[in-house]
Amino acid sequence: MSRRCELTGKGPMSGNNVSHAKNRTRRRFLPNLQDVSLMSDSLGRSFKFRISNAALRTVDHRGGLDAFFAKSKDAELSPAALKVKKDIVKAATVEA
């Protein structure tokens, strides 16, 4: 399983450990990934995602999974998240 957020595409970054003597060695900064179940209001069911803590806060801020997918770009989403987004958009057009 890759260390990449399924909703935002956030992945590992690289940088340096810097000691007191200013010795620099390479290191990786990993995203804070969590396994969560998010509920879709329009579909009435939940979906499991592996997302970063920052993405979870963004989903809450935007008002839920459906609102998050309405504003998200397709290039950032994982294939599983893209499939869920298409189902949500289809359900929204049927209701309207």
CATH assignment of the domain containing 28: 2.30.170.40
What's the pLDDT at 67? 95
Residue 19 forms part of a structural domain: yes
Residue 67 forms part of a structural domain: yes
**Residue percentage of the chain with pLDDT more than 70:** 98
Residue 32 forms part of a structural domain: yes
Residue 23 forms part of a structural domain: yes
What's the pLDDT at 50? 97
Residue 6 forms part of a structural domain: no
Total domains, the chain: 1
Q: Is 91 exposed, middle or buried (0-12, 13-18, 19+ CB in 10 A)?
A: middle
What's the pLDDT at 82? 96
**Residue percentage of the chain with pLDDT more than 90:** 93
Model confidence at 96: pLDDT above 70: no
What's the pLDDT at 72? 93
Residue 64 forms part of a structural domain: yes
Please, which pLDDT band fits residue 52 given cuts at 50, 70 and 90? very high
C-alpha distances out from residue 58 to 14, 38, 62, 93, Å? 24, 13, 6, 24
